[in-house]
Amino acid sequence: MITADDLIALVRAYNPKTNAERITAAYEFGREMHEGQTRHSGEPYFTHPVAVAALLTEQRLDDATIITALLHDTIEDTKASFPEVARRFGDEVAMLVDGVTKLTNLQLSSNETKQAENFRKLFMAMSKDLRVILVKLADRLHNMRTIKAMRPEKQAQKARETMDIYAPLAGRMGMQWMREELEDLSFRVLNPEGRQSIIRRFIVLQKESGDVIHRITGDMRAELTKAGIEAEVFGRAKKPYSIWRKMQEKDQGFSRLSDIYGFRIITGSEEDCYRTLGAIHRRWRAVPGRFKDYISQPKSNGYRSIHTTVSGRDGKRVEVQIRTAQMHDVAETGVAAHWSYRDGVRSGNPFAVDPAKWIASLNEQFEGEDDHDEFLEAVKLEMYSDQVFCFTPKGDVVKLPRGATPIDFAFAIHTRIGFAVVGAKVDGLRVPLWTRLKNGQSVEVITAEGQTPQASWLEIATTGKAKTAIRRALREVDRERFIKLGRELVRAAFENVGRKATDKALDTAAKHLRLDGRDQLLARLGSAEITAHDVVQAVYPELAPDKGDQISPRRAVVGLQPGQSFDRAPCCQPLPGERIVGITYRGKGVVVHAIDCALLGEYEDQPDRWIDLHWHAGTHPPIYGTSLDLTIGNDAGVLGRICTLIGEKKANISNLKFVDRKPDFYRLMIDVELRDVEQLHSLMLTLEADSDVAALERHRDEARPRAAVG
C-alpha cells in the first residue's frame, strides 16, 4: 500500500505548495476509520481509497479532490459522520465526500425507470461539483482493475454498468484514456473469449509483420525532421475492445480490419500541427472521409486535435492524431483539466473548459423533460454519440451528434425555429427533413408561420434537445384537445343522471381519483385513460347503475370445456345476442367470432378447430366494446349532442378518434361499451335519426390480426 509520504510526493511533483499536513491527516483518519475492514481479495480495505487518490494525482488534481478520494467511503462504510468530516477537513471536502457517497448508492444498472431516476440524480450531483464524478470514475477504475476477487455474477453486473454508463461518461468528459481502459476491463469480464481471440491475432500479426509501430514511428520522425518540425511521435496498438467494436460495426474479420494502429504527434505550436499534417499527407496517401479538424472546431469538452487516417506500409491504414502539448493535456484529462495544477498553481491551460459551463450546456439539453424514460433516452443519445459540425448561412458553427437531421439543426439554433421548420436546404439544395447531415455542410432552415411539431418528427430527430421540445409541444396540443373532448363526455354523462358537471363536482372527482385538478381529470377522460362512469361514480356513487344479477364475463359464453378461456375477436367484436362460433388456438384458448365474420373463411379447411357456442341468456354488464364509424356535420355543439345521445342510451364512450377533418364534416371512430346487440341497434337508430349525422355504420376491421385479445 502507498504510504502517506509516497502519496504526498506524487502530489508535490505537480503542486509543490500542497498542504502536506491536511493530506497526512486525511490519510490517518481514513486508515483509522477503515481499520479491520477488508476487501474481497483479503487486503486491508484502506488500500482502495489510497489507490483512488493515487489515480487522481495522475490528473494533477487539487488537494480537496485528493483528500476526498482518501475519505470517499468513510461516511458510507464507517462510523464517521458528515459533521465530523466537515469539522476536521472543511465543508468543501465534506460536501464532496457526501456527493460521492450518494453516487455510490445509486443503482444505475437497475430497471429502466429506476435507472432513469438515478441518472437524473447523477447529473444533479455533477452539476453541483464535477469533482464528485472524477472521484467516482477513479473509484470505478480501481474496482474494475481488482474485480477478479468478486463473485462472477457481481463481476458481470459491475462490468455491464461500467460499459453502459461510466465508460461513455468518461469519454463524454474528454477522458478518453479512462474510457478505453474501463471498456477493455469490462470486455475482459463480459466476453473473455472474444478478448483473448483479439490478443492471439495480435501476437500472430506481430510474428508475421514484425514491429510495425516501431517502423512507422521511425518513418514519421524522419519525415518531420526533413520538414524541420520538432515533435514527439508515439504509436500504439488499439485496445482489444476498440478493435472488437470495429469488427462488429463493420462486420469484418480481424484480417480485413486495417486501422488497428494509432499514432500521436505532439508539436510545439498550433502552426506546427498543420505543417505536420502537410508532411504526413505528402509522405502517405490520405484516406478519403477520414479527416477531422477538431482544432478549428473543438469539441464541447475542450478536446482539440487533428485526426487523419493514411495508408502506411503495405497499404495498412493507420490513424494519426496531431496536437500541441497543451491540447494533449486536455485530451488526456478532459474537463478535469480545469483543476490541473502545475508548480503549485492552476495550470492555466487555455483549452481547458470551465466545468460549470460544460455542465450547464449538458443540462440545457435535458431540462423540462419530466418523463424518466425520455430523460434517460435523451441522456444516452447525447453521451454515446460522436459529433458532426455544420454551418448556418452566416457561417456560424452548429455542433450535432452523428446522424442528426435538419430538424435537430433547427432546434439547436432555437426552439422557436425548430417548432416552425417546414423544410431545409443543404449546400443550396432542397432536401427532406429526414436527411442525415455530414461534416462541413451548410444548412439553411425554411420556416413558416403556423407550423407546429408533428408526431413523425420524433422518429426523425436525433438530439435529446429536439426530442424533448417536440414531445413537450405534442403533449400540450394533445392535452388541449383531450380536455375539450373530456368536457363534452363528462357533461353528457352527468346529464344522463340528472346532474350538472360543475367545476366543484369535477374538483371533487379529481380529488377522489387522486388526480391533480380538474384539467388533468378531463385530459385523462378525453384520452380514454378513465371513463365518464368512473367520474360520475366518484361524485354520485348512489346514482351508479345497479348491476343486479348480471352475468359474469367469465361465464358469458356457453359451450366451452371446463377451464377453457375465451377472448372476443378484435376483427368483428361480437356482442351478446349475436350468433357466434369459436376457433381454438394452441396456448390461447378460444377466440369468439360473429357467425358472419369474413375472416372465418380462412378456417374452412380446419373443421376440427371450430366450436359451436352461444351467449348465456340473461343481462350482461355494459363492458363489450364496439366501434362506430360516424360522419357528422362540422357545426358548433354537434359533437356534444352526439355524446349526450350516446349517454342517454346508457352506453359508455371508451375512446374517440378523429379519422378525417373536412371544412364541413368530421369523420369519427367512437368506441362504445355495450350490454348486447339490442342496445347497439337502439343506439344506432337514435344516432341515425339526428339531422347532423351524415353516415353511420358499425366498424369491423377485417384486416386486424386474429390473435386473442382481451
Q: Are 579 and 595 in contact (CB under 8 A)?
A: yes
Dist. CA 621–CA 56, nearest whole Å: 69
Which residue spans within 529-664 are E strands per DSSP? 557-558, 566-568, 580-585, 589-594, 610-615, 624-633, 652-661
Dist. CA 254–CA 244, nearest whole Å: 8
Dist. CA 123–CA 259, nearest whole Å: 35
Beta carbons within 8 Å of 699's beta carbon, 6+ residues apart: 627, 628, 629, 669
- Torsion sign (Cα): 157, 162, 163, 164: positive
The cell for 72 is 470517499
Dist. CA 66–CA 11, nearest whole Å: 9
The cell for 336 is 478535469
Nearest CA to 2 among 59, 43, 36? 43
Nearest CA to 526 among 514, 539, 537, 535? 535
- Judged by phi (left if over 0) then psi (alpha if -120 to 50, else beta), residue 409 lies in alpha
Q: Is 468 exposed, middle or buried (0-12, 13-18, 19+ CB in 10 A)?
A: buried
Nearest CA to 336 among 170, 185, 496? 170
Dist. CA 521–CA 471, nearest whole Å: 21
CA 361 to each of CA 300, 357, 365, 465: distance values in angstroms, whole numbers, following the listed order: 9, 6, 7, 11
Cβ neighbours around 500 below 10 Å, total: 9
Q: Are 232 and 266 in contact (CB under 8 A)?
A: yes
Q: How far is CA 488 from the centre of its chain?
A: 37
Please give, one letter per residue, the 3-state secondary structure of 298-351: CCCCCCCCEEEEEECHHHCEEEEEEEEHHHHHHHHHHHHHHHCEECCEECCCCC
Helix (H, G, I), strand (E, B) or coil at 592: strand
Q: Which amino acid appears at position 273 of this protein? A: C
Helix (H, G, I), strand (E, B) or coil at 252: coil
- β-sheet bridge partners, residue 231: 267
Nearest CA to 258 among 311, 212, 300, 214? 311
Q: Are 525 and 567 in contact (CB under 8 A)?
A: no
Q: Are 422 and 445 in contact (CB under 8 A)?
A: no
Q: Which residue has the cell 461534416?
A: 439
* Interstrand relation of 317-324 and 261-267 (parallel, antiparallel or unpaired): parallel
Dist. CA 353–CA 620, nearest whole Å: 70
Cβ neighbours around 42 below 10 Å, total: 7
Q: Are 647 and 656 in contact (CB under 8 A)?
A: no
Q: For residue 76, what is the enclosing H or E element? A: helix 74-77
Which of the residues are catalytic? Answer: 76-77
